[in-house]
Structure 1
Amino acid sequence: MKTLLCYGDSNTHGTSPLLPDGSWHRYGPETRWPRRLASLLGPDWHVIEEGLPGRTTCHDNPFDGPHKNGLRHLPVALECHAPLDLFAVMLGTNDLKAYFGLTPFDIAKGIRTLLTMVQQRAPGRDGKPPALLVISPVPIDEVGAWGESLAGGAAKSRRLADYLAEVAEEFGALFFDAGSVAQASPVDGVHLSEEAHLAIADGLAKLLRK
């Protein structure tokens, strides 16, 4: 059986779009893209969800706490779930928050930092690094409850896929642009609809079957 670790933020966790009153829910396992992907790949794959709302690539969040830093938790996730055959990362959306002041190039450097750690810690079979998959998040829109905190992020998000594709090529990783099959919900401009989760899972399944 092959083991796939999906490392991401709220859109891997399955957080629904945030309503104007601040309410939200977590989609059921039959909807969340990692679980949907598992069902599409079949019993030969063990797919692990490792999604934390608010997670960045490698930056402490000054408001929500240092545990949102994806680099801090990565060693724990790798050791908990080793050995891995494939490590997939879909991060960068939270790095677009205005108070970080990051460029798409900077965010791609964050992904590079994570992939470097995965290779160095080599949590794959026989002490080797697992295969890598870089997933570029869907572009965002500055609307709803998140609009103000993401000022300037919409334009940056539409440039991110090109930079992440370069990072994937650098590491010999697979690459998938989630924005090629799905878009953020118009409700809050950040989170995915149920249909978007299913589309991403379907696209990834087609890629991995190759």
Structure 2
Amino acid sequence: MQVRTILCYGDSNTNGTRPLRVPGALDRYAEDERWPGLLRASLGESWRVIEEGLPGRTTVHDDAVEGRHRNGLRTLRACLESHLPLDLVAIMLGTNDLKARFSVEPADIAASVGTLLAEARIATAAQDFAPRLLVIAPVPIDEAGFLGAMFRGGAEKSRHLAPLYEAIAERNGADFLDAGAVARVSAVDGVHFEADQHAALARAMAAKIAAMFPG
């Protein structure tokens, strides 16, 4: 039986962070509750699902508050090369770029995803075949709870990302999925998912992968 491998590269919503009520109280859903784990169960033994979700990860920005290691571009190549060969690389980043401290526009966030796609091509060039790339537009956020101030102005920006991400994906020969079409953020903090939304995203991902890799 052929076993394919997908690497899921994202932030806290790939990590499975539960909605936050107070600062510093990081809590993660169990493997069988967060969407990559649910995807693994759905795909079965024919797929290996690698979770690379880091809370606070941006696309290409060093975070002076939370650390330079949150820069997704800095760590992407190491993550990819450590898991070669890969059949599919799924990237869902951009939510943390919406923090007020970065002051970037939706078009710039989408362009940063394009930079990640280019880096992914370079990082996987050593394997015999090029992996498929999947761009996932993050779920639009709300400015709620204690995270509201941190993401001030980000909610409106987040609602413009999906079509920009789709265009970047098409330009780079990548597939596209709009997570905002199938899931929503929690009212608790306006950024993270409740358990049922992890399940919804996992279902959409499984359907997308089945369409990308028929048979």
Could you state the TM-score of these two structures normalised by the residue count of structure 2?
0.94
> Relative to 1, partners in 2 of residues 1:186 and 1:73: Cα closer, same or farther, differing over 3 Å?
same
Look up the equivalent residue of 1:58 and give its one-letter code: V
Tell me the residue number matched to 2:138. Answer: 137
Contact 1:124 1:130 (C-alpha < 8 Å) held by counterparts: no
Q: Distance in 2 between matches of 1:104 and 1:131?
A: 25
Look up the equivalent residue of 1:63 and give its one-letter code: V
Gaps of 5+ in 1: none
Q: Distance in 2 between matches of 1:201 and 1:192?
A: 12
Q: Distance in 2 between matches of 1:124 and 1:117?
A: 13
- Where does 1:63-102 land on structure 2 (aligned, <5 Å)? 63-102=65-104
Aligned length: 209
Gaps of 5+ in 2: none
Q: Deviations over 1:9-39 (max 9, x none)?
A: 0000000000146534100000111111111
Q: Distance in 2 between matches of 1:44 and 1:189?
A: 35
Tell me the residue number matched to 1:172. Answer: 173
Tell me the residue number matched to 1:32. Answer: 34
Q: Distance in 2 between matches of 1:177 and 1:169?
A: 13
Q: Distance in 1 between matches of 2:130 and 2:117?
A: 10
Q: Distance in 2 between matches of 1:22 and 1:47?
A: 28
Q: Percent identity?
A: 53
Of residues 50-59 and 117-126 in structure 1, the stretch that sits farther from structure 2 once superposed is: 117-126
> Relative to 1, partners in 2 of residues 1:124 and 1:174: Cα closer, same or farther, differing over 3 Å?
farther
Q: Distance in 2 between matches of 1:75 and 1:122?
A: 8
Look up the equivalent residue of 2:138 and give its one-letter code: P
Q: Distance in 2 between matches of 1:134 and 1:10?
A: 17
Contact 2:84 2:124 (C-alpha < 8 Å) held by counterparts: no
Structure 2 residue matching 1:129: 3-state secondary structure: coil
Tell me the residue number matched to 2:108. Answer: 106
> Relative to 1, partners in 2 of residues 1:173 and 1:72: Cα closer, same or farther, differing over 3 Å?
same
Structure 2 residue matching 1:98: 3-state secondary structure: coil
RMSD: 1.2
Q: Deviations over 1:41-89 (max 9, x none)?
A: 1111000000000000010001011000000011110111111100000
Contact 1:7 1:89 (C-alpha < 8 Å) held by counterparts: yes
Contact 1:15 1:27 (C-alpha < 8 Å) held by counterparts: yes
Q: Distance in 2 between matches of 1:94 and 1:132?
A: 21
Tell me the residue number matched to 1:119. Answer: 121
Contact 2:81 2:124 (C-alpha < 8 Å) held by counterparts: no
Tell me the residue number matched to 1:155. Answer: 156
Tell me the residue number matched to 2:203. Answer: 202
